[in-house]
Structure 1
Amino acid sequence: MTAPSDTWTIASAADAARARALLARLTADAGVPALERARFLTALGARLRHGLAEGGAELRVTADPGGCLHVALHGPALTEPWQRALVCPSPVTGPLPRPAAVDDIGLAEALLAADEDTTAVLTGLDETEELVEFHREELHQTNQGVLALHAELEAAALAQRELLDAERTARAEAENARRLLTFLANASAVLNASLDHEDILRRIPELLVPEYAANVDVWLLEDEGAPADGRPAATVAAARTGRPQYAGPHPGELPGVDDLPASVLSPDRPLLCLPLGARTVQGVLTLTAPGDRFAPDTTVMLLEVARRAGIALDNARRYEQHRDVAEALQRAQLTDLPSTPGLALAARYLPATHGLNIGGDWYDAFPQPDGSVLAVIGDVTGHGLRAAVIMGQLRTALRAYAVEGNGPAGILTLLHRMLLHQQPELYATCAITRFTPGTPEVVWAAAGHPPPVIRGPGGEVRVLEAKPGIMLGVPVPYEYEEHTVELPAGSTIALYTDGLVERRSAGIDAGIDRLARAMEALDGTEPADLEAAADSLLKPMLHDAEHDDDICLLLCRTTEPTEPAETAEAPAGAARTTGS
């Protein structure tokens, strides 16, 4: 099928008007939308005017069977042809009309139709403007919302930054508080770990320098060798008022601390003068600032350190006073060993390595009216002054009962009754041996005490395995029994308290075996020199150097009656006691 086509010559304005009017009718009949039709006709009119200005042109119109209308304008003077294609909802059929068919009435109708198209276009424009205005308002509202959202986001970001800063500050403060509390706990443990006055004074600067102070001075008020002359005025004020003092170029404004002018002794660095002690002022701790100031939190910690250091110093002072009393009492209880023909004696006393160095262990040896000698070893349960006092009472009562002529078993029975009557709920152990010059027999009795260990003249060692009686003071009636053992001249019997043989890591039987081996290992000269034998026995028994209980050791060696005793020339009190 051949597509309708025609070529129109445009030589005048009338030709152009008729061609435009004809195409307006064709496109309207073909159902081309008004807006698209108006755009096409406006562009066509402009090209027709341009073609007329150039001397004329030819307009070719072709109706495509597929529903498209093709329009092409070309002329000799046009540099390039103008072409357009319109999609027609209603295809153009049949031959195309000629422009000559359009008369004046057709032109008038085309002009009026063009107004209708213009009206439709303007109506569309009005609707578009309304839609644009609606979208413009919508966009404005959106912009306002975006601005508000940006403002909210900025405020939220600022609040988040403030929260993060506050969290960092809180974390830093918490970490600083944790560090200060940790240091305070460690410092308190260090200060309270010692009961030595000088040791505590030495540790205070070690704890504080250089992190918390550039220099530390401790002034004890009871120290007569350190007068107030030459000390900062703030230190003297702290000692006088009992209040912490701060002396610096600028006020410190520290919690709980009074401000004073800068010290002439330290004009550049502030001083912090803290009273030592909780109940009474024992001295002043003067600290030179490690920098240009003391931090408030650090100051609070230093105040507590000074308080605890004062308490530690007070505890050390009280401990030293109690220790002096205890040592004096202990020395009073340890008497000289007697010098008796036929019997050599040597003793050692070691206080416990912990506590007040005083307990209820004791030894004694004294002659009886019949010429025999009683050697005694005993141990009162517990430690401290009470145990020492009870030990003294038992020792005195024992001597009194012995003077009355009682043997070892009778003495223990009387001591048992006395302890039951005077000191209920207090117990003691005791072993008594009686040596009679000129006889090889030794009579002994024990009340809950570790068994004696004997080394014969030839070096053989045996433990007296006879079952001891109950401890003194156990609330049951009891009569103690005596045992007799052969002890030829040159034999050594060891009496001892459980502190020598008992350890936490091992039972007492293992300790007794160790003592027996130590006695067996004595060389040939030591049994004759009883003092050297005592020292040699203590070395293997105390190799760990730490013992929780007092230790007593009493060595008795039988000799021929004509042989002088080894302890006759030296007072026993000085050599018998060994410090821890």
Structure 2
Amino acid sequence: MTAPPEVWKIASVTDAALARAAVGAITTAGGSPALERARFLTALTARLRRCLNQGGEWELLLHLRHDTGAQDGRVDVLLRPVDASWPSADDEPALTCPLPHQPVTGRVPARTPLPEALLRADENTAAVLDLLQEQERLVQLHREELHHTNQGVLALHSHLEAAALAQRELLEAERAARAEAERARRLLTFLGDASAAITVSLSPTAILRRLSDLLVPEYATRLDVWLFDEEDAPGHVREHAAAAVVAARTGRPQHAGPRPGNLPGIGDLPPSALSPERPLLAIPLGAHRLLGVLTLTAPGPRFDADTCITLVELARRVGIALDNARRYEQYRDTAETLQRAQLTDLPAVPGLLLTARYLPATWGLNIGGDWYDAFRQPDGSLLVVIGDVTGHGLHAAVVMGQLRTALRAYAIDDTSPGEILTQLHRMLRHLQPELYATALIARIRPGEPRVVWASAGHPPAVVRDDDGTVRVLDGKPGVMLGIPADHTYTDQVTRLPTGSSLVLYTDGLVERRARGIDAGIERLAQALAALRTPELEQDLDAGADAVLKHILHDSERDDDVCLLVCHRLTAIAQEPLPSA
């Protein structure tokens, strides 16, 4: 339902004030919210002021509207000049204010006196101010809450930042710890690998060569090894860094560089004249005794502490390896000298050619118990012997000498090869109960086309006939000498016509770990079959060398090799050359 519009004449400020007061009373009575009412009245006042400024008479049309059955409604206010058409395109839109309570039907209340209207005008302002004060209080509460929230957020951010910083520090510490552990693992691995590479050899030259390969260029740009025993040799005097001299005098590692190294357990010296730009590290070599000094030139501007500790330990192990190598060389030279002293000069026998070869092992101690012997008997016969004492070193060489001496003693009374071996067996069981030996003895009588021989567990001898046919003397051998059992060795006989050769050898010639001894004997037979009798009679030494080359191929050997060749000359070779 809409009441007829109430029209107010506006021609003066008083009219405008009274109209505004009347409209304010209506909105107040209709329960319009204070804020909506204040906005509505402020807009109305602005329009009234604008109308007054334009001059003339104006009409204020006031419409009270509400729907049938509804509790709320609204009030519409429109200002227009008097006598203007209705509506006009130039009219401003009506001002509207909601009325929560149903407006009073009928006409607008009578005009309120102006003084009273002025007093009531402040009621809206007071309501707005009260609302504003409440809003300011709420804003203050929210501001305080926001402040506390911001403080909490700042504190949370601070905690998060501190936690992130702590996490970064932990990550950095973990990364550094992992890098340090990896570096320590790499240094320990290097030390282990280097120690294995150095100690595998008993040659001082090979040890120093491997040391250079291990250290240059990662741990040093160059290295210098000063061995004291080389200084005693003529022509080996050379200049050494002052740090090396101090290390040799004090037995303590020394560091020489433009800046102090502050390395654990290492003295600091001024820069070396031999390397003024790069630091030097001089480390004594030796454990029980000082052998020399290892001097390293740093690969960079400084030496790392952990690396220096590793290098000092490696130098200690190098000193031990060099000391062991020197002792081994002395031991080997002594044993080899003793062994070669036991090897006899081959006798000259009419109708026979003799040659022998002895090759020490190229791996290990190089000294074994292999030996050969050949000597004339009172009846003119020739006794040839080859043997092998188990084991290596000085002990085996000494036992080999004892067997050689005893064999010559037992052979004086024209004793047969089997009887000689039987007596040697008894002697070895008595003197060396835990040491064994193999041996093969053959007796060759000039002019007789046969050979009497006996074997004590030795590889079988081989006969090469004049036509190149090779025979293996595979008669049943006796047990090894020294075995804890009584045994009598028997003699055996084989043919040895003119132009044929009797070949005796030790197992180092034919036995290989990857192959059996039978395959080695087969290779020996092939090498002998490839020779020609005239060539053998012309140069038996060259024939023996050809056999060794065919079988050994100049390869590494882990056992000694003995070869003894007895060749019976043909009738043509025995005839004297005609005189000129």
Distance in 2 separating the partners of 1:87 and 1:380 = 131
Moved more, 307-316 or 454-463: 307-316
Deviations 1:6-45 (A, max 9, x none): 4433234454344334433443454432332233223323
Distance in 2 separating the partners of 1:229 and 1:516 = 55
1:71 aligns with 2:77: yes
* Equivalent residue in structure 2 for 1:130, among 129, 133, 137: 137
8 Å CA contact 1:4–1:62 kept in 2: the answer is yes
1:412 aligns with 2:413: no
Cα pair distance change 1:59/1:491, threshold 3 Å: same
* Equivalent residue in structure 1 for 2:541, among 506, 525, 531: 531
Moved more, 545-554 or 71-80: 71-80
1:35 aligns with 2:42: no
Cα pair distance change 1:75/1:150, threshold 3 Å: farther
Amino acid at match of 1:294: F
Moved more, 545-554 or 433-442: 433-442
Deviations 1:482-532 (A, max 9, x none): 222222222212211111111122111111112112221223433323222
Amino acid at match of 1:151: S
Amino acid at match of 1:360: G
How many residues are paired up?
Answer: 562
Cα pair distance change 1:423/1:333, threshold 3 Å: same
Distance in 1 separating the partners of 2:239 and 2:338 = 42
Name the counterpart of 1:458. Answer: 467
Deviations 1:421-471 (A, max 9, x none): 222232222222222223222222222221122211211112222222222
Amino acid at match of 1:62: H
Q: Higher RCO, 1 or 2 (CA under 8 Å, sep at least 6)?
A: 1
CA shift, 1:135, in A, is 0.8
Name the counterpart of 1:552. Answer: 562
Moved more, 40-49 or 532-541: 40-49
Alignment root-mean-square deviation, CA: 3.3
8 Å CA contact 1:246–1:252 kept in 2: the answer is yes
Secondary structure at the counterpart of residue 275 of structure 1: strand
The equivalences for 1:220-259 within 5 A come to: 220-222=227-229, 223-224=231-232, 225=234, 231-259=240-268
Cα pair distance change 1:486/1:25, threshold 3 Å: same
Consecutive unaligned residues of structure 2, counting only runs of 5 or more, are 68-72
1:429 aligns with 2:438: yes
* Equivalent residue in structure 2 for 1:540, among 522, 547, 550: 550
Name the counterpart of 2:378. Answer: 369
CA shift, 1:265, in A, is 5.3
8 Å CA contact 1:341–1:562 kept in 2: the answer is no
Deviations 1:505-563 (A, max 9, x none): 21111111121122212234333232222112112211261221111111122236996
Name the counterpart of 1:439. Answer: 448
8 Å CA contact 1:75–1:81 kept in 2: the answer is no
8 Å CA contact 1:228–1:236 kept in 2: the answer is no
Secondary structure at the counterpart of residue 152 of structure 2: helix
Consecutive unaligned residues of structure 1, counting only runs of 5 or more, are 567-580
* Equivalent residue in structure 2 for 1:218, among 207, 222, 225: 225
8 Å CA contact 2:21–2:112 kept in 1: the answer is no
Name the counterpart of 1:188. Answer: 195
CA shift, 1:3, in A, is 6.8
Distance in 2 separating the partners of 1:290 and 1:427 = 56
CA shift, 1:256, in A, is 1.0
Name the counterpart of 2:158. Answer: 151
Cα pair distance change 1:170/1:127, threshold 3 Å: same
Moved more, 359-368 or 287-296: 287-296
CA shift, 1:417, in A, is 2.3
Moved more, 10-19 or 456-465: 10-19
8 Å CA contact 1:342–1:562 kept in 2: the answer is no
Distance in 2 separating the partners of 1:156 and 1:84 = 60
Deviations 1:74-93 (A, max 9, x none): 34899862532334444558
Secondary structure at the counterpart of residue 94 of structure 2: strand
The equivalences for 1:52-201 within 5 A come to: 52-55=52-55, 56-65=57-66, 67-75=73-81, 81=92, 83-90=94-101, 92=103, 94-95=105-106, 97-98=107-108, 101-104=110-113, 108=116, 117-201=124-208
Cα pair distance change 1:75/1:316, threshold 3 Å: farther
Amino acid at match of 2:536: P
Distance in 2 separating the partners of 1:140 and 1:409 = 118
Moved more, 238-247 or 332-341: 238-247
Secondary structure at the counterpart of residue 403 of structure 1: coil
Amino acid at match of 2:446: P
8 Å CA contact 1:341–1:561 kept in 2: the answer is no
Cα pair distance change 1:418/1:7, threshold 3 Å: farther
Normalised by the size of structure 2, how large is the TM-score? 0.86
Distance in 1 separating the partners of 2:210 and 2:558 = 26
Cα pair distance change 1:341/1:226, threshold 3 Å: closer
8 Å CA contact 2:452–2:491 kept in 1: the answer is yes
Name the counterpart of 1:575. Answer: none
The equivalences for 1:174-573 within 5 A come to: 174-202=181-209, 204-205=211-212, 207-222=214-229, 223-224=231-232, 225=234, 231-263=240-272, 266-528=275-537, 529-543=539-553, 545-559=555-569
Deviations 1:209-239 (A, max 9, x none): 4544455333222222478885444332221
Name the counterpart of 1:571. Answer: none
CA shift, 1:111, in A, is 6.8
Secondary structure at the counterpart of residue 525 of structure 1: helix
Secondary structure at the counterpart of residue 418 of structure 2: helix
Secondary structure at the counterpart of residue 32 of structure 1: coil
Distance in 2 separating the partners of 1:334 and 1:354 = 21
Distance in 2 separating the partners of 1:390 and 1:239 = 43
Amino acid at match of 2:149: T
Secondary structure at the counterpart of residue 273 of structure 1: strand
Distance in 2 separating the partners of 1:82 and 1:450 = 135
Moved more, 257-266 or 313-322: 257-266
Distance in 1 separating the partners of 2:558 and 2:379 = 40
Distance in 2 separating the partners of 1:45 and 1:158 = 63
